[in-house]
Amino acid sequence: MKNIVVNLDLEPRHKQKLEAAAPGCVFTYAPGRTLTKELVQQAQILIGFPPAKWIEASPRLELLQLYSAGADAYIQPGILAPETRLTNATGAYGKAVSEHAFACTLMLMKKLHRYRDSQLQHAWRDAGPVTTLSGATVLVVGLGDIGLSYARLVKAMGARVIGVKRRAGACPEGVDELCLTSDLDRVLPEADVIFSILPGTADTRYFYTRERFAAMKPTAVFINCGRGTAVETQVLADALRDGQIAAAAVDVTEIEPLPADSPLWDLENLLITPHVAGNFHLPDILERVVDIAAANLDAYLNGKPLQNVVDFATGYKK
Active site residues: 227, 256, 275
Q: In what order do the strands lie in the sheet with 193-196?
A: 177-180, 160-165, 137-141, 193-196, 221-224, 247-250, 270-272
Taking Cα atoms as reference points, which of 111, 101, 221 lies closest to residue 151?
101
- Rounded to 10°, the helix 283-301/94-109 angle is 150
User: Are 147 and 163 spatial neighbours (Cβ–Cβ below 8 Å)?
Assistant: yes
The pairing of beta strand 45-48 with beta strand 63-66: parallel
User: Are 188 and 194 spatial neighbours (Cβ–Cβ below 8 Å)?
Assistant: yes
Taking Cα atoms as reference points, which of 87, 52, 84 lies closest to residue 67?
87
Q: What angle do CA 166, 168, 172 make, to 5 degrees?
A: 100
Cβ neighbors of 90 (< 8 A, separation 6 or more) are: 69, 144, 145, 308, 317
